[in-house]
Amino acid sequence: MTNTEKRDAAPVVDTRAPATFMHLHLRLKKLQLEEERLSNIERDNRLLLEKMSYIMRRENHIGNRNTHSYKSLNREKRQRELLRVTKENQLILYRINMRKPEYSHQRWQLEWEKNQKFMDNISAYPIDWWVKEKKTPRKVKEEKKPKGELQEEQKKTQKALQKQESLEKQQAEERRKDNEKKNQEEAEEKERKLEKEKKKKKKKESEDMHKDDEEKKEEEVKVSKQLEVPVEDDAVEQENKS
C-alpha cells in the first residue's frame, strides 16, 4: 500500500461523537407545568388580596356569622330522649340520697368496744403495753368528764340502737306481710286461671258431644231413608204386576 492509500483509508471503528437531540436537553413539558403552577399560585394570592381588601374597606361589620339552619327531622325526638334520660337520672339520684342507711356506725362502735373488752379479759397483758401512753385531747376530755356524763352518753347510744332495731323489725314485718299478700294474690290468680281452663274444657267437651249426637242423628236419618226407598219400589212393582 502506498502512503496515499494509507492516508485515505477509512477506519473500521466509528470514533465520532454521538448525535445530540434537543428534546433531551430542553424539556418543554416540564416548563409548561411549572408555568401553570406559578399561574395558579398567583391567582390564589390575588383572590386572597381582594378578600382582605374587601374586609378592610368595610366598617363595623362582622363577616363570621353562620346563617346555617338545622334541617334535621330527628332533632325534636333526640331532645325529648335527652330530657327523659336526665329526668330518670335525677330520680335515681333522689332515691339514692333519700335512701336510709342499712348499717349503723354506732352499733359497730359498740360491738367493737365489746370485742375489745373481751380481748382485754382474755389477754395476759394489756393492749399496746410496750407503747407509752400519750394523752390526746380526746382522752383529756374524757378524763375531765365525770362518770355520770359518760354513762348518759352510753345510755343515749343504747337508746338510739334500740330505736333502730325496732325500726328494722317493723320494716321486716312489713316486708313479710307484703310478700304474703303477693303470694296470696298469685295463688288466687292461679286458681282463677285453672277454673277458667276447666270451664273451657267442659264447654269444648259439651260441644263435641253435641256435634257427635247430631252426626249420629244425621246418619240414622240417612240409613232410614235408604231402607224406606226400596220398600216403596217393591210395592209399586207388585201393583204393576197385578
Taking the C-alpha atoms of residue 151 and residue 160, their distance in angstroms, rounded to an integer, is: 14
Q: What are the tens digits of pLDDT across the range 175-234?
A: 888 888 888 888 888 888 888 888 888 888 888 888 888 888 888 887 777 776 454 455
pLDDT score for 47: 95
The residue-averaged pLDDT of 79-86 equals 95
Locate the domains of the chain by residue range.
30-57, 150-224
Give the CA distances from residue 179 to residues 165, 169, 172, 214, in Å, rounded to whole numbers and listed in that order.
21, 15, 10, 52
Which one-letter amino acid corresponds to residue 124?
A
CA 237 – CA 242 distance, rounded (Å)? 9
Strand, helix or coil at 101?
Answer: coil
Cα 64 vs. chain centroid, distance in angstroms? 40
pLDDT of 81 > 90? The answer is yes
Q: Which of 20-34, 46-60, 191-205, 225-239 has the lowest mean pLDDT?
A: 225-239
Name the amino acid, one letter, at 39.
S
Q: What is the CA radius of gyration of the chain?
A: 57
The C-alpha atoms of residue 121 and residue 159 are separated, in whole angstroms, by: 26
Main-chain dihedrals φ then ψ at residue 19, nearest 5 degrees: -75, 145
Q: Are 105 and 164 in contact (CB under 8 A)?
A: no
pLDDT tens digits along 122-148: 887 777 777 665 656 665 555 555 666
